[in-house]
Amino acid sequence: MKLIIVVPCYNEEAVLTETTSRLSSVITRLKAEGQITEGQILYVNDGSQDSTWSLIEQLSEKNALVSGISLAHNVGHQHALWAGLEWAAEHGDATVSIDADLQDDVEAIIEMVKLYRGGIDVVFGVRRERQTDTWFKRTTAQAFYRLMQSMGSNVVYNHADFRLMSRRALQALMTFPERNLFLRGMVASLGFNTATVYYDRAERFAGESKYPLRKMLGFALDGITSFSVRPLQYITFLGLACMIISLAAIIYGIVMYFQGRVIAGWTSEMVSIWFIGGAILLACGIIGEYVGKIYTEVKRRPRYFVDKVVGEVISKK
C-alpha cells in the first residue's frame, strides 16, 4: 500500500526542512511497522516568492521520499492542494493532505493510516482545542463553522484540510468539475466510510500565516456561496418581511391622513430610505456573489499550470 502526503507550500522556506524530517520519520515508522510498503512526500510550490522551490529541489536530492511540483503562479491554497491531489489520485492508494507549517500533528497520520487499513475511506483530522490560536482567530473560526452549518453545509466542525483519503474517495472528488473550490465541504459531501482523528493543534512552527483577515473573510464567503443558495432565500424572506411592514405603514399613514394628523415625518422617512437602500444594496451584493461564481464556472479555466517537477517518482511519469 502506497501512501502519498501532499503539502501545499507558499513562501514556506522557514519550515520545510523541519517538515520534511518529521514527515519522513512518520513514513519510516509506518514502513517499519508494516502499515505501508511505500511512502512519498509531495510538495506543491504555489508560486512562492522566496526560496521555497530551490529548497524543495535540494531536499529531494538528499531524500528519496521527497518530490515536488512547482506551479507557474500563485493559485491559492485550495487549488495548489488540488494540483497535488490530482497526481496522488493516480499514484497513491491513500493520500494525506497537510499544511506545511506543522500546526497539524504529524503523529495523527499514523492513526489515520490504521483506520484506512481497517476499511475507512475518509479520515478527518479534527483539532481538539484552539488554545494556541489567538482569541480573534478562534472566535472568528468558530463563528464561521456555525454559520456554515446553519447555511446547510455539512462541514466537519474544527476540521480544516488535514485528512486522509482513499484512492476511490479521492477519485470521486476529482470528478467535481467546479472551479470554486471549498475542499472541506466537498469532501464532507462525498459520503463513503468516514472516521475522525483528534489532535492538538500546535502553533505555526515558523514563518507567518498566509491567511490574513482579508483572505479569511473571502474564504468564508466562498465557502458559503459555493455550497448553499440559502442566502438567496433569506433575501426573499427579507423582501417579504419589508413588504408586510410597509403594508402596515401604509394603513397607518392613511388612517392618520383622514384623522387630519399628518405630521412632518422627516426622521422616519430618512431612516427608512437609508435602511431600505442598504438592504437593497446588500441583497444585490449577495446575488452578485452568485453571478460572479457562475461567471468563473462557465469560463472553465484551468485550475493551475505546472512549471517544473522534481523527484524520482514524479519525473518518471
Residues of the shown chain interacting with Mg ion in the complex, contacts defined by CB under 5 A? 99, 101, 103
Residue 311 as a binder of ligand UDP (CB under 6 A): the answer is: no
User: Using the rule CB under 6 A, which residue among 51, 209, 228, 272 binds ligand UDP?
Assistant: 209
Comparison of 99 and 105: residue with beta carbon closer to Mg ion: 99
**Least separation in angstroms between CB 215 and Mg ion:** 12
Residue 170, number of CB atoms within 10 A of its CB: 26
Residue 9 as a binder of ligand UDP (CB under 6 A): the answer is: yes
β-bridge pairing 94-97 and 2-9: parallel
- For the chain, how long is the longest CA-to-CA vector? 92
Distance in angstroms (rounded) separating the CA atoms of residues 288 and 299: 17
Comparison of 98 and 120: residue with beta carbon closer to Mg ion: 98
User: Using the rule CB under 6 A, which residue among 14, 24, 42, 46 binds ligand UDP?
Assistant: 46
Comparison of 38 and 50: residue with beta carbon closer to ligand UDP: 50
Distance in angstroms (rounded) separating the CA atoms of residues 100 and 9: 6
DSSP for 28-92, written as a single string: HHHHHTTS-SEEEEEEEE-S-SSTHHHHHHHHHHH-TTEEEEEESS---HHHHHHHHHHHHHHH-
Please answer whether residues 82 and 15 qualify as being in contact, where contact means their C-beta atoms are separated by less than 8 angstroms. no
**Least separation in angstroms between CB 57 and ligand UDP:** 17
Distance in angstroms (rounded) separating the CA atoms of residues 239 and 186: 31
Nearest to 79 by CA among 126, 20, 19, 10: 10
Residue 211 as a binder of ligand UDP (CB under 6 A): the answer is: yes
**Least separation in angstroms between CB 140 and ligand UDP:** 11
Amino acid occupying residue 47: G
Comparison of 85 and 172: residue with beta carbon closer to ligand UDP: 85
**Least separation in angstroms between CB 207 and ligand UDP:** 8
**3-state SS, residue 273:** helix
**Least separation in angstroms between CB 161 and ligand UDP:** 8
User: Using the rule CB under 6 A, which residue among 8, 84, 185, 223 binds ligand UDP?
Assistant: 8
120 binds, among Mg ion, ligand UDP, none (CB under 5 to 8 A by kind): none
10 binds, among ligand UDP, Mg ion, none (CB under 5 to 8 A by kind): ligand UDP
Distance in angstroms (rounded) separating the CA atoms of residues 270 and 302: 49
9 binds, among ligand UDP, Mg ion, none (CB under 5 to 8 A by kind): ligand UDP
Beta strands in 72-223 (DSSP E): 94-97, 122-127, 159-166, 194-199
211 binds, among Mg ion, ligand UDP, none (CB under 5 to 8 A by kind): ligand UDP
74 binds, among ligand UDP, Mg ion, none (CB under 5 to 8 A by kind): ligand UDP
User: Using the rule CB under 6 A, which residue among 100, 165, 183, 187 binds ligand UDP?
Assistant: 100
Q: 103-132: which residues touch ligand UDP (CB under 6 A)? A: 103
Please answer whether residues 87 and 314 qualify as being in contact, where contact means their C-beta atoms are separated by less than 8 angstroms. yes
Comparison of 100 and 109: residue with beta carbon closer to ligand UDP: 100
Q: Site for ligand UDP (CB under 6 A): how many residues?
A: 16
- CA 106 to chain CA centroid, nearest Å: 19
User: Using the rule CB under 6 A, which residue among 77, 127, 159, 167 binds ligand UDP?
Assistant: 77
Cβ contacts of residue 14 below 8 Å, gap of 6+? 205, 206, 207
Distance in angstroms (rounded) separating the CA atoms of residues 16 and 33: 26
| Binding region for ligand UDP (CB under 6 A) | 8-10, 12, 46, 74, 76-77, 80, 99-101, 103, 209-211
